[in-house]
Every structure is written in structure tokens, then in C-alpha cells.
């Protein structure tokens, strides 16, 4: 079974440009999450989709970030316009039903390393 995949693995852009990151979750996983790690610090939550709906977007830093999950399959995260502080590694994760009282493992992709110059 394929794991979570992310594209591209690396992206180098200039300040003010637009970048779109893609995440393909594990087949059958309704839950999709975006996280990012900036400057080697902690991994921070950005948002959570359940199928195509945004369940929680409390971690989105500002309105330059737009996430979509049309059809409830793959997801894209667009940064427009990119700023220097957006540099970091963006991780996508997916899981089955949240399970309420139990924990369902979130499987992480390899990440996209974004560098804004």
C-alpha cells in the first residue's frame, strides 16, 4: 500500500512568487492534515480536512495560505505571495476516522522543503 506522497520534494522561489504544494493521502483516509516545520523548530499544525471539508484551520498563519481538497482526495496548499518567513518543511499527514475516544495514527509524508529567497 502506498504511503502519503507529496510533490514537489523541494521548491525554491523568490519572495512574492506563488507556490502550490500537493499531497496525496493514503487511499481511503478521510482525514488529511497539513503541518509545517520552520527553522528546525517544532512541527506546527496548519489545518485538518475531513473529506473535502475544512474541519479545523486554526493553524493557518494568514490569508496568503489557501488549502483545498476538491473531491476529498488529494489536497493542495498554495502560498501567494510567498514571504521569506514561509520557508520551512511542509508535511502532510492522513488518517482514518478520528475514532473519538481512540487514537488513529497519522501517517506523514516525506514533506516539501520550501525555500523563499
Partner 1 sequence: DQQVKQNSPSLSVQEGRISILNCDYTNSMFDYFLWYKKYPAEGPTFLISISSIKDKNEDGRFTVFLNKSAKHLSLHIVPSQPGDSAVYFCAARNNAGNMLTFGGGTRLMVKP
Q: Write out the residues near partner 1 by the rule CB under 8 A.
A: 4, 31, 33, 35, 41-45, 48, 55-56, 58-59, 91, 93, 95, 98, 103-111
User: Which is nearer to partner 1, 11 or 95 (by Cβ)?
Assistant: 95
The minimum distance between CB 18 and partner 1, in angstroms, equals 24
The minimum distance between CB 15 and partner 1, in angstroms, equals 25
User: Which is nearer to partner 1, 76 or 98 (by Cβ)?
Assistant: 98
Q: Scanning the structure block, which residue is given the C-alpha cell 500537493?
A: 22
Sign of CA dihedral 61, 111, 24, 32: negative
The minimum distance between CB 56 and partner 1, in angstroms, equals 6
C-alpha cell at 15: 519572495
CA–CA–CA angle 65, 98, 45 (5° rounding): 30
- Name the nearest CA neighbour of 74 among 6, 9, 11, 19: 6
User: Which is nearer to partner 1, 74 or 108 (by Cβ)?
Assistant: 108
Measured distance CA(79)–CA(13) in Å, rounded: 11
Sorted by sequence, the CB contacts under 8 Å of residue 60 that are 6+ apart come out as 46, 47, 67
User: Which is nearer to partner 1, 44 or 64 (by Cβ)?
Assistant: 44
The minimum distance between CB 23 and partner 1, in angstroms, equals 11
Amino acid at each position: 500500500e502506498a504511503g502519503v506522497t507529496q510533490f514537489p520534494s523541494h521548491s525554491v522561489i523568490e519572495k512574492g512568487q506563488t507556490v502550490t504544494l500537493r499531497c496525496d493521502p493514503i487511499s481511503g483516509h478521510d482525514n488529511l492534515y497539513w503541518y509545517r516545520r520552520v527553522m528546525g523548530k517544532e512541527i506546527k499544525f496548519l489545518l485538518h480536512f475531513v473529506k473535502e471539508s475544512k474541519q479545523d484551520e486554526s493553524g493557518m498563519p494568514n490569508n496568503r495560505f489557501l488549502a483545498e481538497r476538491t473531491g476529498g482526495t488529494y489536497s493542495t496548499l498554495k502560498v501567494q505571495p510567498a514571504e521569506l518567513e514561509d520557508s520551512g518543511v511542509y508535511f502532510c499527514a492522513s488518517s482514518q476516522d478520528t475514532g473519538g475516544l481512540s487514537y488513529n495514527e497519522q501517517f506523514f509524508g516525506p514533506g516539501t522543503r520550501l525555500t523563499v529567497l
